[in-house]
Amino acid sequence: MEYLDELQPDVHPLLPSNPSERAQCRVLAYTFDTLCYPWMKEYMLAREKKRREELKRLLIGGSVMLEEAFVKFSKGKPFFGGDDIGYLDVVVGSFLGWIKFYGVVFNFNVIEEDRTPRVAEWGKRMWSNEVFQSVIPSHETHMKFLNMLIDKLPPLPEQPAVSV
């Protein structure tokens, strides 16, 4: 990424120029990738209501963390990267298709205007970007992927018959 920023210095940089902010940006991207993605995947496949509720709380906590990060990194501008889409916009934006899918399939909005107003507005800006729209998988693609994952799950154990 830094290579791209060095190669094209006249183009809006992907990462902040401040080394500390650059490191924080990478940490947030890593955290989002290593925590939120596994939680989202596990939520889709969770069979126990208790576990699904626990994952829901974790994902909501992640969305609040994301709201705080947006305030910090955007500095009042439209994107994590400022006036233009940057590295965090790409990393977090890649999850927007899944987040929208969750709202439709599971009736669970990871990002809500009441809880995360700035991230909700950012998401709308991302969805209005033609390039972004062209690379995010469709709802149908997400459904196919979910069905493929479900097909790979082992069957639920049979429940013993209850005699009366």
pLDDT reported for residue 101: 87
Instruction: Kindly state whether residue 2 falls inside one of the protein's structural domains.
Output: no
Residue with the bigger pLDDT between 71 and 142: it is: 71
State the total domains in the chain: 1
CA-nearest of 91, 75, 89 to 122 is: 89
Say if residues 110 and 60 touch (Cβ distance below 8 Å). Answer: yes
Instruction: Kindly state whether residue 24 falls inside one of the protein's structural domains.
Output: yes
Phi, psi of 83 (to 5 degrees): -80, -20
Q: What is the CATH number of the domain that holds 82?
A: 1.20.1050.10
Q: Which amino acid is at 35?
A: L
160 pLDDT tier (thresholds 50, 70, 90): low
Instruction: Kindly state whether residue 76 falls inside one of the protein's structural domains.
Output: yes
Q: Is the pLDDT of residue 159 over 60?
A: no
79 Cβ contact partners less than 8 Å away, ≥ 6 residues apart: 85, 86, 89, 122, 125
Provide DSSP, 49-79: HHHHHHHHHHHHHHHHHHHHHHHHHHTTSSB
Instruction: Kindly state whether residue 150 falls inside one of the protein's structural domains.
Output: no
Provide the percentage of residues in the chain whose pLDDT is more than 70.
89
Q: pLDDT by residue (tens digit) across 115-149?
A: 999 999 999 999 999 988 898 888 889 889 888 88
Instruction: Kindly state whether residue 43 falls inside one of the protein's structural domains.
Output: yes
Domain that holds residue 40: 20-136
Q: Is the pLDDT of residue 78 over 90?
A: yes
Instruction: Kindly state whether residue 102 falls inside one of the protein's structural domains.
Output: yes
Highest mean pLDDT among 8-17, 96-105, 150-159: 96-105
pLDDT reported for residue 119: 97
Instruction: Kindly state whether residue 131 falls inside one of the protein's structural domains.
Output: yes
Question: What average pLDDT does this structure show over 10-30?
Answer: 85
Instruction: Kindly state whether residue 6 falls inside one of the protein's structural domains.
Output: no
Q: Determine whether 99 is exposed, middle or buried from the number of CB atoms within 10 Å of its CB (0-12, 13-18, 19+).
A: buried
Q: What pTM does this model have? A: 0.82
